[in-house]
Amino acid sequence: MKRVTVTTLAQYKQRGEPFSCLTAYDATLARCADDAGVDVLLVGDSLGMVLQGHASTLPVTLDDIRYHTECVARGKHRSLLMVDLPFMSNADTGQLLRDAGELMRAGAELIKIEGAAWMADGIAELACRGVPVCAHLGLTPQSVHQLGGFKVQGKAEAEAMRIVEDARQLAEAGAAVILLECVPRDVGKAVRDAVEVPVIGIGAGPDVDGQILVMHDVLGLNSGYVPRFVKNFLTGNDSIEAAFRAYDGAVKGRRFPAEEHTF
């Protein structure tokens, strides 16, 4: 079986075939999602919320992320392993390089960083050292206190144009992948068309190159509030692996996200 790499994702985009991504935090569920055909596993700092019970991702440490990266790396075989840099790992370039290096040694194959055009230099520094980067734009949960909540971004024309321009500049700086969270469908499409690198969306509509969801959301394990872009794939399936297969099939068959999941 051929391993998924950043090159594979670029080929998916060139061929116009959507690819699937899920968060994963442990070896067993990572293997399960990998067996189900999911292309990318993300050790997300969402672990602060879904595993640790915090109200945001801010308390998550580099040690937390490294521990879960090691767990997922032991379980997966085919999927590409993407890993989040935690809050303030971008405090300066030295810290950024050291923290990313530590996660790469733990098994990361693609490092995800929240930020905007101002992250261009840091992304270039990582890229020239052989670290592929996914730049996370739109709703960036590490900025929740500045944004005033988990809100859709890019609704106003100027804000939408800024997101497209940020994506363009970060791809230019060397980002291998762009991830867009919670933006209107048109913004997702505009970013996909503006950059040559693959664009992964969560709440970014169907016109991006790949889709990602938090594993707990796919399994219907929400605590009360369920965001619009989430779908429970365990409904109508009798196992976790069947749910992951249904998610992967729905993404690749362009049945997810549907209109009702889109802003």
Catalytic residue numbers?
A: 181
Q: What is the DSSP string of 139-204?
A: S-GGGHHHHTSS-----SHHHHHHHHHHHHHHHHHT-SEEEEES--HHHHHHHHHH-SS-EEEESS
Q: In the 3-class helix/strand/coil scheme, how is 121-151 assigned residue by residue?
A: HHHHHHHHCCCCEEEEEECCHHHHHHHCCCC
131 versus 202: smaller Cβ distance to ligand KIV: 202
174 versus 210: smaller Cβ distance to ligand KIV: 210
150 versus 165: smaller Cβ distance to Na ion: 150
Side-chain-side CA neighbours of residue 232 (13 Å): 11
Closest by CA to 160, choosing from 133, 180, 135, is 180
Which residues in 152-181 contact ligand KIV (CB under 6 A)? 179, 181
Please indicate if the annotation marks 114 as binding a ligand: yes
Q: Does 166 bind Na ion (CB under 5 A)?
A: no
Q: Does 34 bind Na ion (CB under 5 A)?
A: no
Q: Given the rule CB under 5 A, which of 77-85, 122-130, 184-192, 240-248 is the region that contacts Na ion?
A: 77-85
CB of 136 to ligand KIV, least distance (A): 6
Which residues in 36-55 contact ligand KIV (CB under 6 A)? 42, 44-46
Q: Does 248 bind ligand KIV (CB under 6 A)?
A: no
Which residues make up each annotated binding site for Mg(2+)? 45, 84, 114
